Amino acid sequence: MIDPLTLNEFIVKKQDEVQFSSGELSQLLGAITLASKIVHREINKAGLLDITGSAGVQNIQGEDQQKLDVYANEKFKQALALRGHVCGIASEEEDDFVSFSNNNQSLSKYVVAYDPIDGSSNIDVNIPVGTIFSIYKRKSSNEKPVEISDFLRFGREQVAAGYVIYGSSTMLVYTTGQGVNGFTFDPSVGEFYLSHENMRIPERGSIYSINEGNADKFSEGAKCYLEACKSGNTLSGKPYSARYVGSLVADFHRNLIKGGIFIYPSYRGVPNGKLRLLYECNPLAFIVEQAGGSASDGNTRILDLTMNELHQRCPLFIGSKEMVTEAENLMRSEI
């Protein structure tokens, strides 16, 4: 049996389909996969190393940074600074964007936004976590260092997006606008191999993912939708199954494969929801649309939302197209 394609072999094979030059995408994804292999190694030893738990500092979101958040952030930043045609990055763990100005990096064409470890508080309890990344071509002149305007973009301008899920196996899933493909890491070889070619999300599923612990603070529309999921007053005519890991990449990945909807709505006290537009919602929205699904904030397509600040939050309804439409309609009907 022939080995499946490695990530690099796949990129070369698909080279004429993407808007990157021959080596750029390989090097960009090469930097990301290098850092993800290092993070994979540390996560898999988390219980044996003093690398879990709080780092004793908070990020700009006011969230306790976990030691692995800080470690992973540095690894992705180093890899992208040294190898990736990148003039600057934005990260959940950085207050502001970071400009790479050494050895002509500032002239590079791409900017990358990433959440180095999403759901990191789950590491201590062995629940899957993930890295999410988003790639844009810079807008500003490459005669000057990168600017904030290179990051405050519409999600529809992304040239690539992806995530790594550190779960029962470690997988990289990405899109360049030509469909979605998944690669599974073989640690014995140190390679990502094509395992999920041309991923498509089912038009409809029977899984809803939402933190019902916040239900008493939900809008009437959200409460109505929740009731419909439980009573079976849904498209499928029967109750949905509740699945909520509390790790966005894990919930998203399961729904991408099985069909379903993930919702992090706005609710009393959390007017814009919790998830960040730049390095969580936009990349996953690009992926889900490329896989035939949809993503909105309950009203507007995520990829069309205007971004006014780097760590801007937005509500997120993402998954099977028919289920997202159903949720939007039910929630509007009760407003």
Q: Which residues bind ligand P6P (CB under 6 A)?
A: 118-119, 211, 246-248, 274
Nearest CB to ligand P6P, comparing residues 158 and 247 = 247
* Residues ≥6 apart with Cβ < 8 Å to 131: 32, 35, 36, 39, 72, 76, 114, 115, 116, 117, 118, 163, 164, 166, 249
Question: Nearer to ligand P6P by C-beta: 119 or 260?
Answer: 119
* Upper half-sphere CA count for residue 16 (Cβ side, 13 Å): 1
Choice between 153 and 274, CB closer to ligand P6P: 274
User: Least CB distance from residue 260 to ligand P6P, whole Å?
Assistant: 14
Q: Which is nearer to ligand P6P, 251 or 289 (CB)?
A: 251
In the numeric block, the tokens 């993407």 are attached to: 18
Shortest gap between Cβ of 65 and ligand P6P (angstroms)?
A: 12
Smallest distance, Å, CB 222 to ligand P6P?
14
Closest separation between CB of residue 282 and ligand P6P, Å?
Answer: 15
- Kindly state the smallest distance separating residue 211's Cβ from ligand P6P, in Å: 3
Q: Is the dihedral of CA 27, 28, 31, 32 positive or negative?
A: negative
The strand ranges marked E within the chain are 54-58, 64-66, 86-91, 98-99, 110-118, 129-137, 160-166, 170-175, 180-186, 191-196, 207-209, 241-242, 261-264, 294-296, 316-319
Structural contact between residues 7 and 192, judged by C-beta atoms closer than 8 angstroms: yes
For ligand P6P, the closer of residues 136 and 279 by Cβ is 279
